[in-house]
Amino acid sequence: MNQRIEKIENRFSTEQLLTGITLGRWIELLNRVGWNVSPDYLHRLAWLTGWAVSSSVLGHLEDAVYAQRVAEQPLEPPPFFVLGHWRTGTTHLQNVLNQDPDMTAPTVYQVVFASHFLLTGRVGPRLLRWAVQGTRSYDNVKHSWDAAAEDEIALAKMTGLSLYAGFGFPDNIPQFEKYLDFIDATEEERQRFLAAMELLIRKIMVDTGGKRVIVKSCPHTARLRMLVDRFPRSPFLFIHRNPYETFASFMRMRRIVDWENWMHRPEKGFFNSLREQTAELGLRVYTRFLEDRKLIPPERYHELRYDEFVGHELEHLRVVWDKFGFDDWERFERHARPYLDGLKGYKRNKLQIDDEFKEFVYDRWRVVFDAFGYDKEYPS
């Protein structure tokens, strides 16, 4: 019998990604993993189930009020996709783009309570101020109900067809890995996921008066085959970062976020192989992206390099504006500049990058170094 880890960290965190899932989807997910919840985490089961009941009731009420209006909402303008591996600057990029008055990013409230944010979005954030931290647990980025967020968090709860849906169940995570790129998923699963994405985008557009939605979730980087086909007029903006920094920062995030979501103690073998798993996960994202980015027409695709973008955001985004034909650069600049000025003094986490670590990352991710022109030496 495989041994379980003994020490539990952050046991009473309420930062579970599945908070706000509807009751039917929650029971479906628990059935799928064989109700694999340990006694150590029964309080998380109660927390998620309690929110699931309210999310289901409020979701039915929202459907009764808004279903027709959402169905009639055109996907025009089409969504704007921000792509990149975790910890490559996608959040910063999304936040800057979100300063455009004609665009909107999904908010934390919208992705947490995806089933009923149209009904409760004006009141809920005020009533639940106590439930959200001022900064994200794994970095110093400001966090609030109105902050920009990943749509994948909502889609995991709407469909159960996401790697994020399996994060809480390390024993069962292989069941969910196929949803990273959907290559091995069924056609029914692909269409169900895309339909949920369209529904979420339409709801956000209804909530914001028809603004273009900035869709940013790192797994989308591996899903270009689906996305380009479903959203043929969407622009795609990809950002990459030094692989050593990307990997070190992602590992730091996982050591925090995994503990926040687990519903049972992982096996020691799973826990001890976390670095190898992370490398394989990233390689899968990059491999799929590098194979499929050619599917995007050149006029709707642009790349950014993190170390060049940070500190020179407006210079690079002016190129993006011209290439994608976005309107009113001057107005965007007027809104974005004060936001960027407010970030001065922001301190990034210090990353541990020693020789052994560099050897490991370069060996697993050499394709990334070669594809984007990064030097094996660090710093270059």
Distances (CA, A) of 121 to 113, 124, 132, 273: 9, 5, 15, 41
Chain length of the chain: 380
Q: What pLDDT shows up at residue 139?
A: 58
User: Domains in the chain: how many in total?
Assistant: 1
Q: What pLDDT shows up at residue 214?
A: 98
For 352, the token pair is: 């541990």
**Under a CB-based contact definition with an 8 Å cutoff, are residues 245 and 93 in contact?**
no
User: Which residues are bridge partners to 237 per DSSP?
Assistant: 82, 302
**Unique residue bearing structure tokens 């970062």:** 241
**Within a domain: 362:** yes
What one-character DSSP code corresponds to residue 303? E
Q: In whole angstroms, give the CA distance from residue 168 to residue 30.
A: 11
Q: Helices (DSSP H) in the chain: which residue ranges? A: 23-32, 42-72, 90-97, 108-112, 117-120, 124-127, 151-159, 187-207, 224-230, 243-261, 268-272, 274-292, 306-309, 313-324, 329-341, 355-364, 366-372
Q: What are 82-95's pLDDT values in tens digits? A: 999 999 999 999 99
- Name residues of the chain where pLDDT drops below 50: none
**Within a domain: 366:** yes
Please state the pTM of the whole predicted model.
0.94
**Within a domain: 377:** no
**Within a domain: 127:** yes
Q: In whole angstroms, give the CA distance from residue 46 to residue 256.
A: 22
Q: What pLDDT shows up at residue 348?
A: 64
Q: What pLDDT shows up at residue 345?
A: 62
Q: In whole angstroms, give the CA distance from residue 155 to residue 163.
A: 10
Which residue segment(s) compose the domain that 345 sits in?
23-372
User: Could you tell me the CATH number of the domain that includes residue 286?
Assistant: 3.40.50.300
**Within a domain: 156:** yes
**Within a domain: 298:** yes
**Within a domain: 380:** no
**Within a domain: 11:** no
Nearest 5°: the CA angle 281, 6, 274 is 10
Q: What are 162-204's pLDDT values in tens digits? A: 999 999 999 999 999 999 999 999 999 999 999 999 999 999 9
